[in-house]
């Protein structure tokens, strides 16, 4: 079997690979040179929540009621039952139902 790939496309893929790995490794690498003061530690602790909200909120605004209901359900189920699976499953069920109703 021959590998059917164009050299320029391969080059593009390699460039994209390098750019992506730079983001994966670069933050960790740079952070190694930053002094871990209490303020920096608080910033890092805030980071997962900040990234989640910045990712999910615009998506909910764009998608409307189904996404909002799904996301809210996921959070509430997680709060009540502390089970990731159930939170995801319940959120999806609500989204599917809401979209089906919206037609």
Partner 1 sequence: MNARVKTSPAFWSFDGFALGARLGAPLLPGMIAFGLAVGSTGAANGLTLAESILMNGLVYAGLSQMAALGVWPSEMTSGAIVGLALLVFTVNSRLLLAGAGLQPWLGTLPASQVYPTLYLLTDPGWIIAMRYRAEGGADAAIILGGGLLFYAFWMVATTVGHLAGSLVPDPQAIALDLVVPVFFAAMLVPLWRGPKRALAWAVAGVVALAFYFFVEGWWYVIAGSVAGIVAGGFVDDD
Based on the shown chain and the rule CB under 8 A, indicate whether residue 65 belongs to the binding site for partner 1.
no
Q: Is 50 in the site for partner 1 (CB under 8 A)?
A: yes
Selected binder of partner 1 within 35, 64, 65, 71 (CB under 8 A): 71
Residue 37 Rama label (left phi>0; alpha psi -120 to 50; beta): beta
Output the CA torsion sign for 89, 90, 92, 97.
Answer: positive
Contacts of 77 (CB under 8 A, 6+ apart): 83, 86, 87, 90, 91
The answer to whether 72 touches 47, Cβ cutoff 8 Å, is no
**Binding of partner 1 by 64 (CB under 8 A):** no
Kindly tell me which residue out of 46, 65, 101, 102 binds partner 1, with binding defined by CB under 8 A.
46
Residue 47 in the binding site for partner 1 (CB under 8 A)? yes
Token look-up 């009540």 returns 80
51 binds partner 1 (CB under 8 A): yes
* Residue 43 DSSP symbol: H
**Total number of residues binding partner 1 (CB under 8 A)?**
79
| Binding-site member from 64, 65, 92, 103 for partner 1 (CB under 8 A) | 92
Which residue from 35, 39, 101, 103 is in contact with partner 1, where contact means CB under 8 A?
39
């Amino acid at each position: 079997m021959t590998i059917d790939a164009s050299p320029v496309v391969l080059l593009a893929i390699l460039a994209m690979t390098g750019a992506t790995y730079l983001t994966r490794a670069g933050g960790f690498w740079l952070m190694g040179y930053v002094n871990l003061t209490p303020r920096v530690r608080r910033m890092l602790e805030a980071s997962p929540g900040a990234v989640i909200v910045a990712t999910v909120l615009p998506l909910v605004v764009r998608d409307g009621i189904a996404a909002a209901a799904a996301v809210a359900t996921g959070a509430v189920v997680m709060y009540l039952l502390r089970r990731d699976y159930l939170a995801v499953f319940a959120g999806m069920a609500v989204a599917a139902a809401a979209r089906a109703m919206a037609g």
